[in-house]
Amino acid sequence: MSGARRTDNVLDVVKCVVRIELDVEADAAYLYVTDSEAAGAAVEQVVVGRVGRGDVVLDFDADGRLLGVEIIGASQLLHPASLSAAERL
């Protein structure tokens, strides 16, 4: 179930807001999965290459928590509705 988690046999609804920024000229987008990402907070990046389509870069903090996702080649990798809803830089 999306947006829900089970704790102590009680189902809690978790609100998760993802904000997307899009740089059309660079064909790159950033998905923020936290309320805000402090500058320099990402200490580890994991790159997932999509040959001929672009790259996805996962940004993690010092505790191993996902901060956000950079998408290079956004026009090829994101759904058109997500591109339309994105905040333009």
pLDDT, tens digit, 9 for 90 and up, residues 27-56: 999 999 877 666 668 899 999 988 888 999
Residue 77, SS3 per DSSP: helix
In this prediction, what percent of the chain has a pLDDT beyond 70?
75
**What are 44's two structure tokens?**
């580890």
Asked whether the whole model's pTM tops 0.85, one would answer no
Predicted confidence at residue 9, as pLDDT, reads 61
pLDDT tier at 5 (50, 70, 90 boundaries)?
low
Pairing of strands 10-13, 44-50: unpaired
Predicted confidence at residue 1, as pLDDT, reads 45
Kindly write down the DSSP assignment for every residue of 52-75, as one continuous string.
Answer: TTEEEEEEE-TTS-EEEEEEETHH
Cβ partners under 8 Å of residue 23, min gap 6: 29, 89
Domain residue spans of the chain: 17-88
Rounded Cα distance, 46 and 24, in Å: 23
- Does the domain at residues 17-88 carry the CATH identifier 3.30.390? yes
